[in-house]
Structure 1
């Protein structure tokens, strides 16, 4: 019974600190948040905080790791998917989670979130969707690498989704899935025109 109570207390403490962190991250970046205000906002003392986390970054990174593990599980069904409609359907489910099934995702993907985490998340999504295996772009005689393509698509997607969330989620999850998949696929397939004007830089 004692172990169960301690486990419940631990879960409560972690949840309270996570809620406090994301409440503060709605207004400021992680670098601007102090342990003092994090604990005061959660009504948790600093000693208890340090029993679970090294600092505010450790708290955030543990949440990010859990989110990446959750996303990997959500994407497992994509392993054998090749049909466009099926991949869009799965992306739609992911974006719907951004809206209502994960209380932290909107903050993690926002401008206040960790950009490195956002890149990891979307790289994971696109690799699982097979978008990173698209044909390389061509400009003149030199093709862009698949890595260049993935970096471009990942960063573009992050910006588009941040705008979507910041703008009040005016498009549905299905519309966002179709837009992002279509843009990523078109970028991967469309060759760049050769510049034949020697006077043009």
Structure 2
């Protein structure tokens, strides 16, 4: 019984710390966030913080890792195909997840978030869907890689805008926009 209580307490502490970091990142970049203010916001002491994380960057990496883990798990349910309907369904489910978890993802995908994480997330999605620097027909390797970098960065910017301005389009509409802009070239 004590073990269950301890696990629940650990989960609660981690959740409060994650929520606190996300709230603070809405206000300022992570490099301006101190452990002291993070602990004050979470209403825990520094010793408790350090029992779970080494610093605020470690906490952010854990949040990002959970998101990437979710994406990998969700993507694994789809066949590695280049079918338009499959790609649209995959994107739509991802964007539904973004809406359901917008508290975190709005920050993770914002200018305050880690650009490398954002690129990693979309690279994972696109490579599973058949878009990667080696898949495009014709062109030199530099051209193929440049195209891939362009669609990943463009997608990140489009999602940042969508999350920042209140989901003015449905998940399905966003899936169709991303598909048309990024996938059409390769998949049609």
Give SS of 1:170's match: coil
- 1:45 maps to 45
Looking at structure 1, the residues matched to 138 and 167 of structure 2 have their Cα atoms a distance apart, in angstroms, of 31
Aligned residues: 187
**Contact 1:136/1:143 (8 A) holds in 2:** no
Partner of 1:135: 136
Corresponding position: 1:183 with 2:181: yes
Match of 1:196 in 2: none
Counterpart mapping for 1:107-126 below 5 A = 107-126=107-126
Aligned residue for 1:78, secondary structure, equals coil
Q: Which residue in the other structure is 1:88 paired with?
A: 88
Q: 2:150 aligns with which of 130, 134, 152?
A: 152
Q: Which structure 1 segments of 5+ residues have no match?
A: 191-201
Question: Which is higher, the Rg of structure 1 or of structure 2?
Answer: 1
Secondary structure of 2:125's counterpart equals: helix
Q: Aligned pair 1:166/2:164, yes or no?
A: yes
> What is the RMSD computed on CA atoms of the aligned residues?
2.0
SS in 1 for 2:82: coil
Cα deviation 1:160-184 (Å, max 9, x = unaligned) = 1101111221011111111111111
Give unpaired runs (5+ residues) of structure 2. none
Separation of aligned partners in 1, 2:73 and 2:178: 21
Structure 2 counterpart SS, 1:131 = coil
**TM-score for the superposition, normalised by structure 2:** 0.91
